[in-house]
Amino acid sequence: MTAKTLDVVGIGNAIVDVLVSADDRFLADHGLTKGTMALMDEHQADRLYASVGAGLETSGGSAANTLAGIAQLGGRAGFIGRVRDDQLGAIFRHDIQAVGTRYDTPAASDGPSTARCLILVTPDAQRTMCTYLGASVGLDPQDLDLDMVAQAKVLYLEGYLWDSDDAKRAFIAAADIARAHGGEVALSLSDAFCVDRHRDSFLELVDGHVDILFANEMEITSLYQANSFEEALRQVRGRCRVAALTRSEQGSLVLAEDGTHPIAAVQLGPLVDTTGAGDLYAAGFLHGWTQGLDPQRCGQLGSLCAGQVVTQLGPRPQVDLAALVRSQLGQQL
């Protein structure tokens, strides 16, 4: 087993988010399904952008948010994902490095611009995402820093990468390397529509390559085409070392070797924007996991991080997350 100099390394789309307010009518008029992610080409994305209100820009990307969160918690984090050498790419790079995440993937010097995600936040604090993948789909095996992957205790993959064939290949290659070096592989299913697009591939991956699985209720029921959450639970149990299944305000359920642990949701203030809730749950969970906490404590840490990020606009905690954890969960971390 390779010496582990990093706790978690993530591979994902490198995205800058544009957060705007919208109402249910706007979603309906544009054929968008609340709470999900829709892919767009650049022309569609530009047209939609022209029809929304003033925005707020912030670095995003599902796995990138998770790895930024782990770094904020004090973990040793690395991220692999591709931006273009443009202004948004520079913002993405700055922000993830600024919190202490190692990020060395070279920027593309030609081709599509840095990925953008238009996030429509409705008055109920739900987020609906419209993503132009841009430069991020160009990630391929040669962009992988294999040394970094080998040095990680856990390799974390976001399901969204499945929407790009190059990225998917890079992804599977990385999982094999991680395991060959004694690391574990974690996967987030990302989005119910994404699961629907790539179900067979995900089913095979979960059975053969994944140690830690993250999914919300919609995603796990979609994966197993189950009629209920309970049926999905029966299906997933035992297929990977641990499955952390999130259920919004109902908290989460952690299925582990030591049993099934219901974890309460944490509410730290008024709900503002759910963007990043799943990403930060994964950050807290994986940070706990790589620090040796038991699965239940990992879930509690995930719940706390998710509970913070939903009280603000945007997916990267704007507070001292490590200090918050110390004040809420004590000094164990």
- Closest separation between CB of residue 268 and its own copies, Å? 15
Q: How far is CA 260 from CA 44, 199, 282, in A?
A: 44, 25, 17
CB nearer to its own copies: give 84 or 153: 84
- Closest separation between CB of residue 272 and its own copies, Å? 10
CB nearer to its own copies: give 96 or 178: 96
Q: Residue 88 phi/psi, 5° resolution?
A: -70, -35
- Closest separation between CB of residue 16 and its own copies, Å? 8
CB nearer to its own copies: give 101 or 216: 101
CB nearer to its own copies: give 68 or 185: 68
Both tokens of 92, joined, read 């993405």
Q: Going by DSSP bridges, is the β-strand pair 56-59/15-21 parallel, antiparallel, or unpaired?
A: antiparallel
> Environment class of residue 212 by beta-carbon count within 10 Å: exposed (0-12), middle (13-18) or buried (19+)?
buried
- Closest separation between CB of residue 90 and its own copies, Å? 9
CB nearer to its own copies: give 87 or 250: 87
- Closest separation between CB of residue 313 and its own copies, Å? 7
Q: Mapping DSSP to helix (H, G, I), strand (E, B) and coil, where does residue 319 land?
A: coil
Binning the chain into helix, strand and coil, the percentages to the nearest 5 are 45, 20, 35
- Closest separation between CB of residue 332 and its own copies, Å? 26
CB nearer to its own copies: give 49 or 229: 49
- Closest separation between CB of residue 71 and its own copies, Å? 10
CB nearer to its own copies: give 58 or 290: 58
Q: At what angle do helices 62-72 and 87-98 cross, to 10 degrees?
A: 30
Q: Residue 15 phi/psi, 5° resolution?
A: -125, 140
Q: How far apart, in whole angstroms, are the C-alpha atoms of residue 126 and residue 77?
A: 28
Q: Mapping DSSP to helix (H, G, I), strand (E, B) and coil, where does residue 229 land?
A: helix
Binding site for its own copies (CB under 8 A): 18, 21, 49-50, 52-59, 68, 86-88, 91, 94-96, 98-99, 113-114, 313-314, 316, 318
- Is the separation of the CB atoms in 152 and 122 below 8 Å? no
